[in-house]
Structure 1
Amino acid sequence: MEITITKTKVLKPKPDDSKLGFGSIFTDHMLNVDYEPEKGWHNPRIEPYAPFEMDPATMVLHYGQAVFEGLKAYRTASGSVQLFRAKDNFTRLNQSSRSLCIPEIDEAFLMDSLKQLLEIEKDWIPKAPGTSLYVRPTIIATDPYLGVRASNTYRYFVILSPVGAYYAAGFNPVKIWVTKSHVRAVRGGVGEAKTPANYAASLYAGEQATKSGYAQVLWLDGVEQKYIEEVGSMNIFFVIDDEITTPMLNGSILPGITRNSVLALAKHWGMKVSERKITIDEVMQAHESGKLQEIFGSGTAAVISPVGEMKYGDKVITVSDGKVGPIANKLFKTIQDIQYGKAEDPMSWIETV
């Protein structure tokens, strides 16, 4: 598919790199592609960033048939631009699409179209340390129809947002709260897909955690409510007796790309790693015995989010003396250095724009 390009006549002012937050500023242009059964994916175009006009009966508004991804473009010290594991994001986008009955898109086209959009918007990629350009590819159902079925038409779009360093106050541990009153997903559902419904399901418990002074919710499985699954919108890791352990993918856990990066690097370094079922009771017992060394989350936005305190029921435990553990620190620095071109990329994760 050949992409048509229509440039905006009035460019927006670029924000100050030192004042960037997350997800509130958007660039001048966006990518749009349409789908119809007779034409397939067609009419790809880069055009000025603008609101959508939607029928009030548009299916995504009523039934939530949508998927999305999140990745970043980084500017290196030499001024070049690179993506981190973008191919994996597009592979996962198609995996999520299959779960939501959405037609897949050719992954080579997804990569090429993103690069074309980034070439046009390259001046929006911030230069300050820790900053980047957040990339949000999304697919939504667009049939104007009230009735529960898969849509026949869809819109794929990509918007870009310059973002600041995730840790504005520094790379510090957070406090997390374990809930047994709420669940995020269950096996057999859409928990392993990156779809808006999973995030909507997390909001109420997240608000409860915030009111109690905690940054994130630690989710347990939706059946027995004893096996650990995710933390907030991130995957979770435990370092117990020098072994890095993370919950195994079971159909209700998002297969995080940063999660996979952590596992790959740890194995590359010769560390002991396991993906398995792990209960909250096992973690609490490991703390009591002195074997729990670190807890940290992993995700695109934060890369690594160390945990300094965890509350489960009436018990509150301190992890790693409330400080960033050595493994979390090494992973955070290594992944960021690869992303910004400061370190060797041993896994061929970088895609140059």
Structure 2
Amino acid sequence: MTPSPLTSRFEVNPSPLPTDQRAAILENPGFGNHFTDHMFLAEWTPDTGWADARVVPYGPLSLDPATAVLHYAQEIFEGMKAYAHPDGSVWIFRPDANAARMQRSAHRLALPELPLEWFLGSIEALIKADRDWVPFGDEKSLYIRPFMFASEVFLGVRPSQHVTYSVIASPAGAYFKGGLKPVSIWLSAWFSRAAAGGTGAAKCGGNYAASLLPQQEATDQGCDQVAFLDASENKWVEELGGMNLYFVQDDGSIVTPELSGSILEGITRDSILTLAADLGHEVIQRKVSIDEWREGTAGGKITEIFACGTAAVVTPVGVLKWDGGQAVSSDGEAGKVTTDIRSALVDIQYGRAEDRHGWMHKVC
């Protein structure tokens, strides 16, 4: 492989996974279980700025016990996918949007902002190095995880003066095996995901850590996911543990909770705003109360509900449960609007439909 202009050095993995073993993984990759042969690394300090961009063999990171991120959680990440198209080329979806969101997350966590050319160049360098890890067919993809953390060895409470940026990649299978099936949602009565002025709009690990206990509560109640309300009034629907929500109305319009500063601005969420309008739907961003969710499904005002995110793309919601009741929004199958929107998005990502909005970026 020839290093990209961004990459100062490229170290070939001397022990890549054998071809037959890689092929077996790509046949049934699951999600987040296997990783490619290389990773991207770069460092930042106030004196040098971003430097030492390199692709190296995938392997453990060595951290001193006093490394700042282990104590103060100064860390952010992104999630995106690389898609193999029918002609064998590899593309990524809206990387500029991921880069911009990572910059916003970095600002909120007092981390240095990574320039767009570094973000895009690091992802391209890793995909080109591990091109053979991009799976084909059945809505498979290569999941890309860029992340940044405070790597200074220091226990003082202040922004880290040494930061490490990395990109790793993992082959991912089709999220739904056996078809698109509605999921069940548990309403969290006591826990909040984020609050006004907090880090809810940043993609940082702490937000996900805070969702794990209520997610366990949802699992204990036999549900797939947990829904969070706002932290102030405990009234307004915000998002799931890692997905945004959409509500299809009986007049054909589609409503999604408006961004409040405590809701993550999902790339998939934003794309659906455009695609739903392309399909003829009025799309409304406003507050949605939990009472509207309950009463709307019971009275037929809300005809479909779906969640969206990078991993599952679009997921139909079948039922909302809480202590003492439930609201059913599906007969066990994905609704037509949900299916049409998901198909429109996935067909663009996999090169089966025209990319009218210029969202796809060719890597190789």
Q: TM-score interval w.r.t. the shorter chain?
A: over 0.9
1:9 maps to a residue whose letter is P
Cα offset for 1:231? 1.4
2:10 maps to a residue whose letter is I
Matching of residues 300-319 of structure 1 within 5 Å? 300-319=310-329
> Who is 2:220 aligned against?
211
1 CA distance for matches of 2:196 and 2:172? 34
Stretch of structure 1 that moved more, 95-104 or 2-11: 2-11
Does the CA contact (< 8 Å) of 1:191 and 1:251 recur in 2?
A: yes
Secondary structure in structure 1 of the residue aligned to 2:260: coil
2:332 maps to a residue whose letter is G
Secondary structure in structure 2 of the residue aligned to 1:209: helix
2:259 maps to a residue whose letter is L
Q: Do residues 351 (structure 1) and 356 (structure 2) align?
A: no
Q: Do residues 174 (structure 1) and 179 (structure 2) align?
A: no
What is the CA RMSD across the aligned residues, in angstroms? 1.1
Secondary structure in structure 1 of the residue aligned to 2:201: coil
Residues 123-149 of structure 1: CA distance to partner in whole angstroms, max 9, x if unpaired?
000113211100000000011111221
Q: Do residues 124 (structure 1) and 138 (structure 2) align?
A: no
> Sequence identity, in percent?
43
Does the CA contact (< 8 Å) of 1:3 and 1:113 recur in 2?
A: no
Cα offset for 1:97? 0.2
The gaps in structure 2 that reach 5 residues or longer are: 1-5
Secondary structure in structure 2 of the residue aligned to 1:217: strand
Secondary structure in structure 1 of the residue aligned to 2:101: helix
> Who is 1:6 aligned against?
11
> Who is 1:231 aligned against?
240
Stretch of structure 1 that moved more, 217-226 or 162-171: 162-171
> Who is 2:29 aligned against?
20
Q: Do residues 36 (structure 1) and 35 (structure 2) align?
A: no
Cα offset for 1:284? 1.3
Q: Do residues 79 (structure 1) and 88 (structure 2) align?
A: yes
Matching of residues 330-341 of structure 1 within 5 Å? 330-341=340-351
Does the CA contact (< 8 Å) of 2:182 and 2:330 recur in 1?
A: no
> Who is 2:55 aligned against?
46
4+ aligned runs moved over 6 Å, structure 1: none
Cα offset for 1:288? 2.6
> Who is 2:171 aligned against?
162
Q: Do residues 252 (structure 1) and 257 (structure 2) align?
A: no
Secondary structure in structure 2 of the residue aligned to 1:320: coil
Q: State TM-score, norm by structure 2.
A: 0.95
1 CA distance for matches of 2:154 and 2:61? 17
Matching of residues 174-193 of structure 1 within 5 Å? 174-193=183-202
Secondary structure in structure 1 of the residue aligned to 2:331: helix
Residues 258-286 of structure 1: CA distance to partner in whole angstroms, max 9, x if unpaired?
00011111122221110011100011121
Residues 211-259 of structure 1: CA distance to partner in whole angstroms, max 9, x if unpaired?
1110000110011111000012000111122221111001000000000
Cα offset for 1:109? 2.2
1:87 maps to a residue whose letter is D
Cα offset for 1:2? 4.4
Secondary structure in structure 1 of the residue aligned to 2:305: strand
1:239 maps to a residue whose letter is V
2 CA distance for matches of 1:45 and 1:87? 21
Does the CA contact (< 8 Å) of 1:18 and 1:128 recur in 2?
A: no
Q: Do residues 342 (structure 1) and 315 (structure 2) align?
A: no
- Work out the number of aligned pairs and report it: 353
Cα offset for 1:12? 0.8
2 CA distance for matches of 1:341 and 1:333? 12
